[in-house]
Amino acid sequence: MTSPDTPIAFSAPLEQYQEIKDEIDEAIARVLNSGWYVLGREVEEFEKEFAAFCGTQYAVGCASGTEAIALTLMALGIEQGDEVITVPNTAVPTVCGIIMAGAKPVFIDIDSSYHMDPKQLDAAISKMTRSIVPVHLYGQTVDMEAINEVARHHNLCVIEDACQAHGAELRGSRAGSLGHAGCFSFYPTKNLGCFGDGGAVTTDDPEVYERLLLIRNHGQKKRYYHQVRGINSRLDEIQAAVLRVKLKYLDSWNERRRNLAAVYDSRLSDVCGVPFEKDGNCHTYHLYVIRTRNRESLQEFLKQNGIETLIHYPLPIYSQEAYRDINRRPEDFPQTEKFAKEIVSLPLHPQMTKSDVEYVCDKIIEHLNAGSF
Ligand SMILES: Cc1ncc(COP(=O)(O)O)c(C=O)c1O
Reply yes or no on whether the pLDDT at 1 is more than 80: no
Query: Tell me, what's the pLDDT at 2?
Result: 43
Task: Report whether residue 139 contacts ligand 1, using a CB cutoff of 6 Å.
Answer: no
- Angle among Cα 80, 82, 88 to the nearest 5 degrees reads 115
How many C-alpha atoms does 53 have within 13 Å on its Cβ side?
Answer: 26
pLDDT score of 160 more than 60: yes
Does the beta carbon of 65 sit less than 6 angstroms from any atom of ligand 1? yes
Q: Do domains 14-244 and 249-370 have the same CATH topology?
A: no
Q: Read off the pLDDT of residues 299-346 as tens digits, 9 standing for 90 and up.
A: 999 999 999 999 999 999 999 999 988 867 889 999 999 999 999 999
d(CA 270, CA 274): 9
- Is the Cβ atom of 163 under 6 angstroms away from ligand 1? yes
The CATH number corresponding to 14-244 among 3.40.640.10, 3.30.300.30, 3.40.50.720, 3.90.1200.10 equals 3.40.640.10
Ligand 1 centroid to Cα of residue 222, in Å, is: 31
Q: Say what the pTM is.
A: 0.97
Closest atom of ligand 1 to CA, residue 286: 16
Task: Kindly give the distance from the C-alpha atom of residue 300 to the centroid of ligand 1, in angstroms, as a whole number.
Answer: 27
What is the bridge-based pairing of β-strands 129-132 and 83-86? Answer: parallel
Ligand 1: which of 84, 133, 164 to mutate, most ligand atoms within 8 Å of CB? 164
* Ligand 1 centroid, distance to 368 Cα (angstroms): 32
Contact 257, 341 (CB under 8 A): no
Question: 345 CB less than 6 Å from ligand 1?
Answer: no
- Kindly calculate the radius of gyration of the chain based on its CA atoms and give it in whole angstroms: 21
pLDDT digits (tens, 9 = 90+) for 247-284: 999 999 999 999 999 999 999 999 999 999 999 999 99
CA angle centred on 190, ends 179 and 202, rounded to 5°: 25
d(CA 247, CA 142): 23
pLDDT(110) > 80:
yes
Query: Residue 142: how many CB atoms within 10 A of its CB?
Result: 31
Give the pLDDT confidence of 193-219 residue by residue, as tens digits.
999 999 999 999 999 999 999 999 999
Closest-CA residue to 66 (of 108, 39, 95)? 95
| CATH tag, 249-370 | 3.90.1150.10
CA of 313 to the centre of ligand 1 (A): 12
Nearest to 177 by CA among 136, 235, 138: 136
Q: Is 36 a residue whose pLDDT tops 80?
A: yes
175 lines ligand 1 (CB under 6 A): no
Angle, helices 354-370/237-268, rounded to nearest 10 degrees: 50
Residue 62: pLDDT above 50? yes
Question: What are the extents of the domains in the chain?
Answer: 14-244, 249-370
pLDDT of residue 329: 86
Q: Is 199 in the pocket of ligand 1 (CB under 6 A)?
A: yes
What's the pLDDT tens digit per position in 172-201?
A: 999 999 999 999 999 999 999 999 999 999
Q: Is 193 in the pocket of ligand 1 (CB under 6 A)?
A: no
Per-residue pLDDT, 369: 87
Do residues 87 and 134 touch, judged by C-beta distance below 8 A? yes
